[in-house]
Amino acid sequence: MKHIFYLLSVILILFLSPCPGFSQEARFNPEGTWLGNLNVGAVNLRIVFNITIAPDGTISATMDSPDQGANGIPMGEVTLWNDSIKIDAPLVRGFYLGKSETPSKISGIWNQGGQKFDLNLEHQVEAFMLNRPQEPKPPFPYKAEDVTFENAEAGFTLGGTVTRPEGEGPYPAVILVSGSGQQNRNEELFGHKPFLYLADQLTRKGIAVLRYDDRGVGQSGGDPRGGTSADFAEDAKAALDWLVSMPYTDKNATGIIGHSEGGLIALILASENPDI
């Protein structure tokens, strides 16, 4: 009798347990792009799950956090059963557990770090794109070129983009220096690209602009760990020296625009260089 009871218990557990993949018990198709809003205190973050189903029924997913500039984060196992779905997110030590309310709506909970947050998803007809109307769009009335320059003292190369007005020049010129934390040449944060916007506006007004990836980011070498403001000032100096060496730059009209820690770096360089 005990053996029969044990066998029935095992069968019941197997029957009720969620099955990986697109099982026959699933009552909805999760494939596509799903968008939701995650409220974390005073911060509201949009979360996007991109779910695909292979011909053999295997489900895979990636996650985007567009407001944080994070896209294509690979998810772990996706489990689907009845009208429910679970998406494991091992890289961020979290998971999503949701239930289909309609073919286009999932209500659920995002679990991370021992905390739970409501996260309700809506199916999107098209892939989600951030709407940033202030972001410059081509064609541009100026020249833009990706460049590299060397921080010879530190022994690595940095990558950036220079924008300059049409014509031979010479033009006034500036470099853009980002704030604390390692950022790309556009100082991209929460889906915004302030340095791209600044470079566009300044160049339209006749000023050449060089913006560059911080060390260890994008096309720039070097290791930012343990770096000080003085170290980052050396990177900025390398950028300024390169820009000043260009034939289209007015050597008597060069400057630095810095944001946050970049402002401190600008003052450091200005104190060492009377031409700034």
Q: What distances in angstroms separate CA 167 from CA 69, 145, 152, 197, one per listed residue? A: 35, 15, 31, 22
Q: What distances in angstroms separate CA 136 from CA 162, 192, 200, 203, 219, one per listed residue? A: 15, 11, 7, 12, 22
Kind of pairing between the strands at 171-177 and 249-258: parallel
Kind of pairing between the strands at 121-124 and 115-118: unpaired
- Asked if 45 and 117 touch (Cβ cutoff 8 Å), the reply is no
CATH architecture, domain defined by 142-272: 3-Layer(aba) Sandwich (3.40)
Q: Tens digits of per-residue pLDDT, 210-231?
A: 999 999 999 999 999 999 999 9
- The answer to whether the bond into 90 is cis (omega within 30° of 0) is no
| CATH number of this structure's domain 17-124 | 2.40.128.620
Distance between CA atoms of 238 and 94, rounded to whole angstroms?
A: 42
- Spans of the chain, pLDDT less than 70: 1-26, 130, 190
Dihedral of the CA atoms 162, 181, 68, 161 (nearest 10)? 10
Q: Tens digits of per-residue pLDDT, 63-95?
A: 999 888 788 899 999 999 999 999 999 999 999
- Name the segment(s) of the chain with CATH classification 3.40.50.1820: 142-272
Confidence at residue 67, expressed as pLDDT on a 0 to 100 scale: 81
Q: What distances in angstroms separate CA 238 from CA 44, 106, 152, 159, 204, one per listed residue? A: 38, 51, 8, 11, 25
Confidence at residue 275, expressed as pLDDT on a 0 to 100 scale: 80
- Name the segment(s) of the chain with CATH classification 2.40.128.620: 17-124
Confidence at residue 126, expressed as pLDDT on a 0 to 100 scale: 79
